[in-house]
Structure 1
Amino acid sequence: MGVIVVFLGLLGLMAWGWRNRSRSQAGLFDTLPEVPAETGDVVLGPLTGVYIGSTVAGDWQARIARAPLGHRSAATLTAFTGGLRLDLADATVWIPRADLVDVRRASALANKTVPGGGILVARWQVDGHDGPTLIDSGFRADDKDSYPRWEALRGDAAPPTRPDTPRSTTEENK
């Protein structure tokens, strides 16, 4: 009986921590961009796999808890001339080309590690109460052979070297 009480207490603490993290991230973004009526032509995809999660850029452990970016999900990723569309099990995330910084491979993101750069990471910026924030969103594809074509994608977002650089972590700025 005591083990069950301890287990339930730990679950409650985890839920409380996740809720507090979500509240503390309220200033990261107001709302995410809506999928436009006209997305443009398909450039790559659709690519099936698993959405790993999103973090504040530069810190693979600074997981974003706010919906819909907070939870892992089966997903489909498609690149259009207008941006990237990430179809999750319960939501759709649109990354406009104007906000996309780059696409690269990584071995770790959102507390998930895989060997050999198995995570495709899109870095993009979003506006919030606290100013612009760079976000890294990770996707582990079923077909990793297509990663080089995805890495060739570049967005229209200005490189983060201006004084009003979007927020990222100090670890990346070193």
Structure 2
Amino acid sequence: MNQDFWTALVMIVLLLLLIGLMTLGWRNRSRSQAGLFDSLPQPPADPGAVVLGPLTGVYVGSTVAGDWQARIARPPLGHRSAATLTAHTDGLLLELATDVVWIPRADLIGVRRTSALANKTVPGGGILAARWQVTAPVGRTVIDSGFRADDKDSYPRWEALRGDAAPSDRTDTPTSTTEEKQ
């Protein structure tokens, strides 16, 4: 056997090792985040009248509010996906390729533009981020969920959306904005 064979074999083994370590890291992150929330709210049978949307684009991911790199790995918030975002009178409906995320208006804090979220950066505030609260084993966890729309001209209308959520009572959740952490 020649040297090219052994070089290729070593590279394949290293690549498989790297993929295995990345998978293990993602699984450990998901396990360590078990205390962030019990379960996500389910969409109601009648979410109310459509206020805005549907808006097509890409779901960027979700983070613990205030830290644009603290990506949440728990399903269904963990993976980027093609998505559709629709604002109803009772909340926001985020339809992912394989799942649905419902953000009740009572849990929505607000919607804003940002340039960085879930380890993705986009110049000029290209990410629409919804800040919302979800029930945790102790108190509430504040989450930023990002969406990069195909039509960014509608962002000002989305930013005008306000929720009914009161400020979080959880003391270990940062309150600074994503822009402040950059």
Scaled to the shorter chain, the TM-score interval is over 0.9
For 1:132 and 1:126, locate their aligned partners in 2 and report how far apart those are by CA, in whole Å: 6
Query: Kindly, what percent of the aligned residue pairs are identical?
Result: 75
CA shift digits 1:86-130 (9 cap, x unpaired): 000000000000000000000000000000000000000001213
Structure 1 residue aligned with 2:77: 69
Q: Shift in Å at residue 68 of structure 1?
A: 0.2
Structure 1 residue aligned with 2:115: 107
Contact 1:99/1:124 (<8 A) preserved: yes
Q: Structure 1-normalised TM-score?
A: 0.94
Gaps of 5+ in 1: none
Q: Shift in Å at residue 22 of structure 1?
A: 0.2
Q: Shift in Å at residue 30 of structure 1?
A: 1.0
Q: Equivalent residues in 2 for 1:8-157 (5 A)?
A: 8-157=16-165
Contact 1:134/1:166 (<8 A) preserved: no
Q: Shift in Å at residue 171 of structure 1?
A: 6.1
Larger Cα-atom Rg? 2
Compared CA separation, residues 95 and 116, structure 1 to 2 (3 A): same
What SS does structure 1 have at the residue aligned with 2:17? helix
For 1:159 and 1:104, locate their aligned partners in 2 and report how far apart those are by CA, in whole Å: 16
For 1:85 and 1:43, locate their aligned partners in 2 and report how far apart those are by CA, in whole Å: 11
Structure 1 residue aligned with 2:4: none
Contact 2:66/2:176 (<8 A) preserved: yes
Gaps of 5+ in 2: 1-8
For 1:81 and 1:132, locate their aligned partners in 2 and report how far apart those are by CA, in whole Å: 23
Runs of 4+ in 1 over 4 A off after TM superposition: 170-174
